[in-house]
C-alpha cells in the first residue's frame, strides 16, 4: 500500500506510455488529467493484488477510440466518472476498487481520475501487461470474465450500456458507439471480483511503469543512455535505431491504422524497418523479415531523450530506437495467440516468441 | 375498447403498410409475428387514447433498420420483448400499456407482440400518422418528449441501452448499434405518460389502418377499384399510374435508399414519375416537378390488387398507382417541417402542402 501524489505522476505516465507499445493514449494528456483529479481529491491509495479481498468489487475504466482523435478532442475526465457511474448504476452496486485494463499514457492515468473521484483505492495491476487495440484482448477474457455489462460515456452527457453475447460483441457494439461519439469515449467494463483479479490480471503494472519512467529520467539526467535504461528494466532488447521516413496513417473504423518506415542509423545503417500499427505497434519488419510481432511489445523511444513515441505522434525525421519486449507468458498460449496473435490481425507470419536480453 | 384477434390482422397489416408510405416493414412478416403472439397469448385489448388514464405508463416498441435486410433476416418477435424488458428494467417500472411509434406493415404489428407477451393493452394511436426513417421524427419530439432512455435488442441476446442528449443523438447512436446488429434490431423508446400520449400521439391509427385494409379487400372482392377505395378512406388522391422501370437501391448507413422510375400508363401515358426513398418514400417527381413530398404521404399500391408495395419490394415491371395523402397537420408547422420536411432530407424544393380529394 502506497499513497500516490501528483509528484509520482510524471515517471508513471512516461513508463506507462512505453508499456503502451505505441498505443494507450498520450502520456502528457494522461498526466494532466490525473494531476487535476489528485489536486481536487487528494492522493490515491495504490494496493497490490495481494492486498485486496477476494470479495472486492472492482470496476475498471478506460478511454476507447482512435488516439489520433484524442490529441485534438481532449478528454476532460468527466467521461471516465460518467462511464463508471453508469456501470455502477446498471449493476446496482458501488465499486470497492478500480484498476486499469491496459498500460498506456492515458489508460494508466485515467484510472487515477476514477479512483480519486470515486474515493476508492487503485490496484497496482492491469489486464494486458501492455496495450491492445480491441477491448476483448484482455487476459481476463481468456479466463472467461465478461466485458459486459459495460457502459460508455462521452463529453456531451450521452451514455450507452451494453449486455452482449461475449466480449467480441462488446468490442463491436462499443466501437460503433465510440465512432459516433466522435471516435473517442470513456468506457467502464470487465467489472470483476478480487478473486478474478488475482487470477487474471497482470500484477504490479503501475510499479513497473514507474520504474521504467524513472530509469529513463535518471539516465537522461545522468547523461547515460535512456533507451538502454528502459530496456534494462523491461528485460527487452533494442532491435533497431533509425530515422522515421514515410508515415502512412488513416483513422478508420474507430482506430488509427498505418505504417511507418525507418531507415537505419549507427549500427543499423543500410537497413530499413517497417512498423505496422492499429493504435498499438503490431509488427516490426526488418529488411523484409519479422523481428518483433504481437503479442510481444514493440516500444518506440526517442533515441536521445528516451521519451516514448506513440503511434499518433510518429513523424518524419524523428530519430528513434525500437525495443522488443517479451509479453506476459499467457499471451503465448494457443488461446492467447488466438485472441491477439498475428493471425487475428490478418498477418500470415507464424508467431516466434521474442527473446529479450539475457539477464 | 375492443378485443383484437388473429382474424383482424390481415386487414390491419394491409392498411398499416399503406400508411407506412413504403416503409415501416413488410406486412406479411408483421402479420405472421402478430398471429403467432396472439395464438400463444390470446386476444389483445385495443384502447382509444380517450380510454386511458393520464398517469398510464406507456412503453412503445418498434423495429429499426433497413427493410431490405429484414426481408432476409426475419425477426422472431423475441427481440421486441427483449427490448421492452430492457427498457422497463432500466426505468425500474413495468409498462401499463404499449403503442406503436409509427404506422407500417411490421411496426404496426410488432406492438401486438409486445402487448400480447407483456399482457398489457395496446393503444389505438401512433407517433407519426405514417412511417418515417429516423427515430427522432415523431410528433412527441415536437412536444419535448425524449426518445431516451431507450433500449435495443437483437436476436442473439445482445442488448444496448442509451441515455442521450436529445432525440437526434438517440437516432445516431441507435443507428450505429443497429448497423452492427446486422442492420435490424428491435427498439423500445419514447416511454411516455397517458397525458403525453393524449397530447402528442395521432389518435385512431390502428382503426384507420384496419379501415383502409378492409376497403381494399372489399373493393377487390366486389370487383371494384381497390386503389380508389383506399384513397377514399385516406382522403388522398392518385397522382400517377404506371409501370416500374429502373430501381436503384443501396443499403447504406442502416437505411435502404434509392430511386424508382415509373413510366405512365392509361391517363398518365407519356409521363414519367421518379420516387426517391430512404426506407420510406420521400419525394415523387412527375416530369421534373415535385407532386408530393415529405412530410405528406406517398403510398404505392399494386394497381390491380390494391396491395401496398413497400420500397424494398419495388421491382421492374410492377404496375402501380401512386397516392398522395395529406399528413397530420402538426407536420406542416415550421417545427414539423424542420424535423421531417424536404430540407432535412437534403432536398432543395420548398414544401407545398399536398391537397387531397375534396370530400
Tens of pLDDT along A322-339?
A: 999 999 999 999 999 999
Which one of B65, B180, B181 would you mutate to disrupt binding with A, by most A Cβ within 10 Å of its Cβ? B180
For the segment(s) A226-340, the CATH number from 3.30.365.10, 3.30.200.20, 2.40.390.10, 1.10.10.10 is: 2.40.390.10
Domain boundary assignment for chain B: 2-203, 226-340
Burial class (CB in 10 A: 0-12, 13-18, 19+), A357: middle
Within 8 A of B179 by CB-CB distance, chain A residues are: 176
Tell me the pLDDT tens digit for each residue of B240-249: 999 999 999 9
The residue behind cell 426505468 is: B91
Tell me the pLDDT tens digit for each residue of A29-42: 999 999 999 999 99
Tell me the pLDDT tens digit for each residue of B224-279: 999 999 999 999 999 999 999 999 999 888 899 999 999 999 999 999 999 999 99
Report the CATH number of the B2-203 domain: 3.40.1610.10
State residue A358's pLDDT score.
63
**Which of A156, A165, A176 has the CB atom closest to B177's CB atom?**
A176
Which one of A167, A168, A177, A185 would you mutate to disrupt binding with B, by most B Cβ within 10 Å of its Cβ? A177
Q: Mind spelling out the 3-state secondary structure of A269-333?
A: CCCEEEEEEECEEEEEEECCEEEEECCCEEEEEECCCCCECCHHHCCCCCEEEEEEECCCHHHHC
DSSP A111-166: HHHHHHHHT-PEESEESSSS--SSTT-SHHHHTT----SEEEE-TTS-EEEEE-SS
Burial class (CB in 10 A: 0-12, 13-18, 19+), A325: buried
3-state class (DSSP) for residue B304: coil
d(CA B56, CA B114): 16
The band of B75, judged by pLDDT with boundaries at 50, 70 and 90, is confident
Tell me the pLDDT tens digit for each residue of B8-51: 999 999 999 999 999 999 999 999 999 999 999 999 999 999 99
Query: B359 pLDDT exceeds 60?
Result: no
**Which of B156, B157, B173 has the CB atom closest to A180's CB atom?**
B173
Within 8 A of A180 by CB-CB distance, chain B residues are: 172-173, 176
Among A61-65, A93-97, B64-68, B127-131, the range scoring the smallest mean pLDDT is: B64-68
d(CA B334, CA A314): 50
Distance from CA of A164 to the nearest CA of B (A): 4
Phi and psi at A269, nearest 5°, equal: -55, 135
d(CA A284, CA B239): 65
Tell me the pLDDT tens digit for each residue of A229-270: 999 999 999 999 999 999 999 988 889 999 999 999 999 999
Distance from CA of A162 to the nearest CA of B (A): 4
Tell me the pLDDT tens digit for each residue of A142-195: 999 999 999 999 999 999 999 999 999 999 999 999 999 999 999 999 999 999
Q: Which residues pair with B242 in a beta bridge?
A: B264, B320
Q: Name the grid cell of B19.
A: 400508411
**Which of B165, B180, B181 has the CB atom closest to A156's CB atom?**
B165
3-state class (DSSP) for residue B40: helix
Q: How many CB pairs under 8 A join A and B?
A: 58
Record: contact A173-B160, CB cut-off 8 A: yes
Amino acid at each position: 500500500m502506497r499513497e500516490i501524489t501528483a509528484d509520482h505522476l510524471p515517471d508513471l505516465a512516461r513508463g506507462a506510455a512505453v508499456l503502451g507499445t505505441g498505443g494507450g493514449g498520450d502520456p502528457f494528456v494522461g498526466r494532466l488529467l490525473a494531476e487535476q483529479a489528485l489536486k481536487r481529491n487528494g492522493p490515491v491509495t495504490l494496493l497490490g493484488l495481494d492486498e485486496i479481498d477476494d470479495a472486492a468489487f472492482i470496476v475498471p475504466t478506460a478511454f476507447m477510440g482512435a488516439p489520433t482523435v484524442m490529441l485534438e478532442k481532449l478528454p476532460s475526465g468527466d467521461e471516465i466518472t460518467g462511464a463508471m457511474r453508469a456501470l455502477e448504476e446498471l449493476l446496482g452496486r458501488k465499486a470497492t476498487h478500480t484498476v486499469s485494463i491496459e498500460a498506456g499514457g492515458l489508460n494508466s492515468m485515467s484510472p487515477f481520475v476514477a479512483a480519486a473521484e470515486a474515493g476508492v483505492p487503485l490496484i497496482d495491476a492491469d489486464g494486458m501487461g501492455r496495450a491492445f487495440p480491441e477491448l476483448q484482448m484482455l487476459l481476463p477474457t481468456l479466463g472467461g470474465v465478461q466485458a459486459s455489462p459495460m457502459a460508455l460515456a462521452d463529453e456531451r452527457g450521452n451514455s450507452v450500456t451494453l449486455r452482449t453475447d461475449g466480449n467480441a460483441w462488446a468490442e463491436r457494439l462499443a466501437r460503433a458507439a465510440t465512432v459516433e461519439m466522435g471516435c473517442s469515449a470513456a468506457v467502464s467494463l470487465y467489472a470483476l471480483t478480487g478473486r478474478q483479479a488475482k487470477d487474471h490480471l497482470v500484477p504490479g503494472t503501475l510499479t513497473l511503469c514507474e520504474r521504467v519512467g524513472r530509469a529513463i529520467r535518471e539516465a537522461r539526467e545522468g547523461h547515460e543512455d535512456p533507451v538502454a535504461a528502459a530496456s534494462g528494466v523491461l528485460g527487452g532488447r533494442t532491435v533497431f535505431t533509425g530515422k522515421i521516413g514515410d508515415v502512412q496513417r488513416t483513422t478508420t473504423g474507430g482506430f488509427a491504422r498505418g505504417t511507418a518506415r525507418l531507415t537505419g542509423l549507427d549500427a543499423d545503417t543500410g537497413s530499413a524497418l517497417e512498423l505496422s500499427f492499429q493504435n498499438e505497434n503490431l509488427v516490426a519488419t526488418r529488411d523484409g523479415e519479422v523481428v518483433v510481432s504481437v503479442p510481444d511489445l514493440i516500444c518506440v523511444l526517442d533515441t536521445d531523450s528516451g521519451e516514448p513515441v506513440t503511434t499518433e505522434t510518429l513523424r518524419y525525421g524523428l530519430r528513434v530506437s525500437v525495443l522488443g519486449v517479451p509479453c506476459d507468458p499467457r499471451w503465448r498460449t494457443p488461446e492467447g495467440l488466438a485472441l491477439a496473435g498475428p493471425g487475428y490481425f490478418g498477418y500470415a507470419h507464424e508467431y516466434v516468441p521474442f527473446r529479450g536480453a539475457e539477464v
